A and B are shown apart, each in its own frame.
Chain A
Amino acid sequence: MNTTYLPSDFLPIVVQLGLALAFIVGTMIVTHLIGPSRKSSLKDDPFECGIEVKGNARTPISVKYFLVAILFVLFDVEVIFMYPWAVNFRQLGMLGFIEMLLFMALLLAGFYYIIRKGVLKWEE
């Protein structure tokens, strides 16, 4: 297999990039030119499909969303430790398996703590 690449081998990517850009810019210009332009208060609404606008979007949101998002980030990132473990599953053997179970048990202890704290209770 050939593993050496010359800069010229990347030409298709450059062409693809150029085409993509040209398409976007082209369609934007064309719609601007051929489309009719009307201005009214209705047209300036964020949503045109009939739903009434209800106040400013930048209002404080319940902190519950924040908690769930942060907890998601925490538990999500722990998965990265499983990638190297999965790749080397055979070499690590039984001991590695038990260690990973222990790791997951600690994570689940944290998860159980969160549930007991009532973080995931939405109706309150």
Chain B
Amino acid sequence: MEPSMLQMPAIPEIIQLIPLKNYLILSTALFVIGIIGVLTRRNAIVIFMSIELMLNAANLLLIAFSSYKSDPAGQVFVFFIMAVAAAEVAVGLAIIVMIYRNTRTTDVGFLNKLKW
């Protein structure tokens, strides 16, 4: 069955009390915090956390739009983002552990074998 064929119950009015714009502002703020974190931090783990923040901002936005449109497709997308993000976490942490075992640090400053 096509995902959009599954009907979702209409959203309760209580959710609509908060305008959609607020969700948009909140998730944009989270997204920008994530970007700033990636660009300014030096520790690989913290950069990674900032990236996760960006992904979660996107998730929040998808959920908000999905609720307001009474359309489950957005929430299905969020499931996929979560699953894929977990796979990415696994690979990313494995890379960081590999580097830690070779150099005993997770600071990206040591990454100078290749000129930037």
Contacts and interface: CB of A to CB of B under 8 A. Distances in A.
Q: Do A and B come from one complex?
A: yes
Interface of A: 3-5, 63, 66, 70-71, 73-74, 76-78, 80-81, 84, 88, 91-92, 96
B87 interface: yes
A2 B1 CA distance: 34
Interface stretch (B19-27, B32-40, B41-49, B75-83): B75-83
A25 B13 CA distance: 37
B90 interface: yes
Interface string B3-32: 000100000111001000000000000000
Contact of A77 (B6, B82, B94, B97): B82
A3 B90 contact: no
Contacts of A4: 13-14
A44 to B, nearest CB: 29
A74 B14 contact: no
Interface range on chain B (Cβ under 8 Å from partner)? 10 to 19
B49 to A, nearest CB: 15
B99 interface: no
Interface of B: 1, 6, 12-14, 17, 72, 76, 79, 82-83, 86-87, 89-90, 93-94, 97, 101
Nearest to A95: B1
Contacts of A66: 93, 97
A88 to B, nearest CB: 6
A70 B93 contact: yes
18 contacts: A3-B13, A4-B13, A4-B14, A5-B14, A63-B97, A71-B90, A73-B89, A73-B90, A74-B87, A74-B90, A76-B86, A77-B82, A77-B83, A78-B83, A81-B79, A81-B83, A88-B6, A91-B1
A71 B13 CA distance: 41
